[in-house]
């Protein structure tokens, strides 16, 4: 191929490629911060080398990091326990005989996925806040079923459950749609054959649908396991308050608070790097385990 | 209609199925409905509790909201980043994908691979923060736009779509002496409308909903998005319950409550999503399918 012919295509790609490098790869130099005693305003070259000091600090007895790690793992684990629910939802939706009804259910339940966590927080606040929440209006002020207004959003006994419920509320409908797509991909002849053999719909679900969507389920599960420490920033930042801090602070929000609020850049970066490494290790381990056990892999 | 007579067990299953699904549907639908009817209720009346229908009817909440300078400005910022961000992403991803879809392009594998790997690595908050400062993008509107000009997932979608276009289509154009850009513009783009519509809608919804960059890369009040404004508002309300009273243009005092204002901002922030949602439904399954195949 003569040079002239690929020249225009290089002009199309190289500038955007540089943009990608600038915003995704160049910032990686910042990882150096975790290994030096950096303070804002000074240049990195002037900062003295600190070795693994900040990584050791993460696991000091004085550090909150262990608490944060526990919260992250507990919340991720609760989410992992719920992974079968969207599958069940998808099977239920595909078993509805009236088309319009299943369409409405799909449309309505997947909507929260497309709103931000701030909207979700505002919705939860509208229902659960102690001052003017709909739940307290109904149960306390109107029906007098409870003796004192409930304050779910600021009660650390319920935080983990509330967060899990919020995740479920926001994502279950959407995740179900992914499974519905997988169910639609199953060969319809299998169902017809089963019908002829007199299999009930329950048996069909168990023996055709479930095996049919297993690969999708395993892929999503593996991604979730790989992301156990990447539980996300948005949800836990918006639901955070002083009273639930000990239950809701996760690695991402911790990194933000230590770094951006308290300006302890080196320590915060070390926490971030620790998270990335564990995530990658988990992802590879889960992938390897899956390939050995089931033959399905994601990479 | 079904002609097969159902066994009693099957019927029971059907009924239970429909009921449970209906319940779950209500659980997601009612909160948004509640917020809407609260926002159009009379603010004082609403304090007694709103359940199935609005209490009284008043648009004072909305009227007042659109007189608050900072709310109108936040709405403007959110709209701007949504529109400009989506245009930039469409241009960037389309041109890049077209170039990268050419098998004879030098460094093709390297460039494509480098873009795809960005889905799996993240520099983290602090490194990003410091780098944006270095670039001069801190507290700069462009920080909402530039980092998302080329996004891996969209590149996968568009490139895959372009590769399925029969090669003869563009070859005949090339023979007629059209340049690469002309071919992209006149031949390829019209054929790619479905995938570009998918990307546009997804990206617009993302831009509208994103606020974390606002939080730590552009904290100046002049760049506040509607999302973060809503969050600040809910939290203020969390801290102190106080009545908001303000004189309206028509001389009589409008009394709003913090909750009624919160509901109204929430609804305004949800409305754009609600409006594009019917279109998304048409496209998002396609998006998932393509993503599942290639991702």
Domain ranges of chain B: 60-295
d(CA B20, CA B10): 15
B226-239 and B258-294 helices, crossing angle to 10°: 130
pLDDT 10s digits, A3-14: 558 888 999 999
pLDDT of residue A296: 66
Residue B166 neighbours by CB under 8 Å, 6+ apart: none
Tell me what pLDDT residue B177 has.
Answer: 81
User: Is pLDDT at A43 greater than 80 in this prediction?
Assistant: no
Structure tokens at B38: 């609260």
Name beta bridge partners: B256: B244
Count of the separate structural domains present in chain A:
1
What span, in angstroms and rounded, lies between the C-alpha atoms of B255 and B247? 9
Q: What's the pLDDT tens digit per position in A145-190? A: 888 888 888 889 999 999 999 999 999 999 998 899 888 888 888 8
Residue B247 has pLDDT above 60, yes or no: no
In a domain, A22, yes or no: no
Judged against a pLDDT cut of 70, whether residue B44 lies above it is answered with: yes
pLDDT at B2: 46
Query: pLDDT over 70 for what percent of chain B?
Result: 87
Q: What is the pLDDT of residue B288?
A: 58
Q: Which of residues 104-163 of B touch A (CB under 8 A)?
A: 104-106, 111, 114-115, 118, 121-131, 135, 146-147, 149-150
pLDDT for the residue numbered B244: 44
Tens digit of each residue's pLDDT (9 = 90 or more) over B178-207: 888 888 998 899 999 888 988 998 899 999
Encode B112-136: b = buried (16+ Cβ within 10 Å), e = exposed: bebbeebeeebbbbbbbbbbbeebe
Helix, strand or coil for residue A49? strand
Q: In this structure, is residue A19 part of a structural domain?
A: no
Which of A201 and A53 is assigned the larger pLDDT? A53
Say yes or no for a CB contact (<8 Å) between A134 and B95: no
pLDDT in tens, B83-92: 999 999 999 9
For chain A positions 31-90, those within 8 Å of chain B (CB to CB) are 31, 33, 89
Tell me the longest C-alpha to C-alpha distance in chain B.
74
pLDDT band of B251, cuts 50, 70, 90: very low
- Which uninterrupted H or E stretch holds A25? none
Give the minimum alpha-carbon distance from A133 to chain B in angstroms, rounded to a whole number: 9
The confidence band for A228, taking pLDDT boundaries of 50, 70 and 90, is: confident
Q: Given this model, what pLDDT does residue A297 score? A: 65
Rounded distance, CA B295 to CA B293, Å?
6
Residue A241: phi and psi, rounded to 5, are -150, 170
If we measure between CA atoms, which residue out of A266, A291, A251, A298 comes closest to residue A71?
A: A251
Q: In angstroms, how far is CA A35 from the centroid of its own chain?
A: 29
Report CB contact under 8 Å: A255, B124: yes
Q: Which pTM does this prediction carry?
A: 0.90
At B65 the pLDDT is: 86
* CATH label of the domain that carries residue A145: 1.10.3720.10
- pLDDT surpasses 60 at B294: no
Nearest to A116 among B104, B211, B215 (CB): B211
Task: Determine which of A159-168, B133-142, B281-290 has the lowest per-residue pLDDT on average.
Answer: B281-290
Cα torsion at B232, B235, B241, B244 (round to 10°)? 10
> A238: which 2 tokens?
């918006």
Q: Does domain B60-295 have CATH number 1.10.3210.10?
A: no
Mean pLDDT of chain B: 86
In a domain, A174, yes or no: yes
Residue A41 lies in a domain: no
Range(s) of the domain holding residue A122: 62-293
Q: Rounded CA gap, A145 and A265, in Å?
A: 50
Contacts of A80 (CB under 8 A, 6+ apart): A221, A224, A225, A228
Q: Answer yes or no: do B258 and A125 touch at CB < 8 A.
A: no
For B47, nearest residue in chain A (alpha carbons)? A132
Q: CA of B160 to nearest chain A CA: how many angstroms apart? A: 16
Instruction: Answer for the pair B159, B100: CB distance below 8 angstroms, yes or no.
Output: yes
């Amino acid at each position: 191929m003569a040079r002239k012919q690929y020249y225009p295509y290089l002009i199309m790609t190289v500038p955007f490629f540089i943009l990608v490098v600038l915003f995704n790869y160049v910032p990686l130099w910042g990882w150096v911060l975790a290994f030096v005693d950096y303070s804002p305003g000074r240049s990195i070259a002037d900062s003295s080398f600190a070795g693994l000091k900040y990584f050791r600090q993460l696991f000091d007895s004085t550090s909150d990091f262990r608490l944060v790690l526990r919260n992250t793992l507990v919340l991720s684990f609760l989410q992992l326990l719920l992974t079968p629910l969207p599958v069940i939802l998808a099977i239920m939706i595909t078993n509805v005989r009236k088309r319009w009804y299943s369409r409405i259910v799909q449309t309505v339940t997947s909507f929260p996925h497309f709103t931000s966590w701030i909207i979700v927080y505002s919705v939860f606040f509208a229902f659960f806040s102690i001052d003017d929440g709909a739940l307290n209006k109904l149960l306390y002020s109107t029906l007098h079923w409870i003796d004192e207004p409930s304050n779910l959003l600021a009660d650390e006994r319920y935080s983990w459950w509330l967060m899990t419920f919020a995740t479920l509320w926001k994502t279950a409908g959407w995740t179900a749609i992914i499974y519905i797509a997988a169910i639609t991909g199953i060969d319809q002849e299998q169902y017809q054959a089963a019908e002829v053999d007199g299999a009930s719909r329950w048996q069909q679900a168990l023996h055709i649908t479930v095996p049919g969507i297993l690969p999708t389920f395993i892929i999503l599960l593996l991604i979730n396991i790989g992301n156990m420490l990447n539980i996300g920033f948005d949800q836990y930042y918006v639901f955070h308050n002083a009273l639930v801090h000990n239950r809701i602070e996760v690695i991402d929000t911790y990194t933000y608070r230590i770094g951006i609020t308290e300006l302890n850049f080196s320590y915060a970066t070390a926490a971030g790097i620790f998270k990335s490494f564990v995530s990658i290790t988990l992802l590879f381990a889960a992938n390897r385990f899956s390939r050995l056990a089931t033959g399905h892999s994601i990479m | 209609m079904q002609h097969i007579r159902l066994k009693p067990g099957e019927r029971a299953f059907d009924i239970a199925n429909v009921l449970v699904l209906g319940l779950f549907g209500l659980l997601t639908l009612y909160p948004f409905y509640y917020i809407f009817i609260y926002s159009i209720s009379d603010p004082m009346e609403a304090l007694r509790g709103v359940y199935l229908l609005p209490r009284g009817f008043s648009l004072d909440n909305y009227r007042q909201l659109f007189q608050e300078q900072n709310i109108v400005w936040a709405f403007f910022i959110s709209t701007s980043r949504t529109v400009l961000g989506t245009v930039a992403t469409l241009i960037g991803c389309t041109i890049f994908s077209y170039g990268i879809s050419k098998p004879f392009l030098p460094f093709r594998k390297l460039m494509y691979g480098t873009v795809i790997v960005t889905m799996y690595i993240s520099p983290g908050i602090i490194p990003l923060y410091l780098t944006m400062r270095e670039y001069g993008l801190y507290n700069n509107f462009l920080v909402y736009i530039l980092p998302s000009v080329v996004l891996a997932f969209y590149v996968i979608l568009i490139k895959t779509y372009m590769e399925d276009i029969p090669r003869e289509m563009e070859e005949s154009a090339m023979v007629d002496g059209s340049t690469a850009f002309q071919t992209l513009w006149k031949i390829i783009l019209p054929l790619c409308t479905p995938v570009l519509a998918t990307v546009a809608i997804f990206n617009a919804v993302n831009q509208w909903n994103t606020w974390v960059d606002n939080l730590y890369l552009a904290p100046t009040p002049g760049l506040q998005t509607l999302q973060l404004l809503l969050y600040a508002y809910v939290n203020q309300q969390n801290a102190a319950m106080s009545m908001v009273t303000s004189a309206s243009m028509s001389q009589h005092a409008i009394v709003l409550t913090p909750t009624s204002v919160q509901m109204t901002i929430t609804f305004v922030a949800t409305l754009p999503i609600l409006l594009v949602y019917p279109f998304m439904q048409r496209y998002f399954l396609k998006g998932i399918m393509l993503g599942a195949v290639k991702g």
